Amino acid sequence: MITSSVNPKVKQVVQWQTKGKERRSAGIFLAEGFKMYQEAPEDRIREVYVSEEALAKVSGYPEMEAKLERTGYEVVSAEVFRKMSDTQTPQGILCVVKRPEYKLEQLLAVPRPLLLVLEGLQDPGNLGTIVRTGEGAGITGMIMSAGTVDIYHPKTIRATMGSVYRVPFVYVEHLEEMMDRLRERNIHTYAAHLEGKRYYDSFSFREGTAFLIGNESAGLGRALAEKADDYLKIPMEGQVESLNAAVAASLLMYEAHRQRNGGGS
pLDDT tens digits along 163-197: 999 999 999 999 999 999 999 999 999 998 777 78
Quick one: which of 144, 147, 97, 100 has its CA closest to 118? 144
* pTM for the full predicted model: 0.92
Contact at 8 Å (CB) between 190 and 229? Answer: yes
> Which is nearest to 226 in space by CA: 180, 171, 159?
180
Cα 171 from Cα 142, distance rounded (Å): 9
Return the pLDDT at 60: 82
pLDDT of residue 118: 97
CATH of domain 104-260: 3.40.1280.10
Q: Is the pLDDT of residue 265 over 60?
A: no
Q: According to the model, what pLDDT value does residue 114 have?
A: 98
Half-sphere exposure of 107 (CA within 13 A, CB side): 27
Tens digit of pLDDT for each residue in 87-118?
889 999 999 999 999 999 999 999 999 999 99
Fold of 8-98: 60s Ribosomal Protein L30; Chain: A; (3.30.1330)
195-225: per-residue pLDDT in tens? Answer: 778 999 999 999 999 999 998 878 889 999 9
Q: Do residues 178 and 143 lie in contact, with contact meaning Cβ atoms separated by under 8 Å?
A: yes
Residue 50: closest CA among 90, 97, 103:
90
206-241 residues labelled b (16+ CB within 10 A) or e (exposed): eebbbbbbbbeeebbbeebbebbbebbbbeeeeeee
Whole-number average pLDDT of the chain:
94
Domain boundaries in the chain?
8-98, 104-260
Q: pLDDT value at position 264?
A: 58
Give CA–CA dist 125/32, Å, rounded: 15
| Mean of pLDDT values over 246-257 | 96
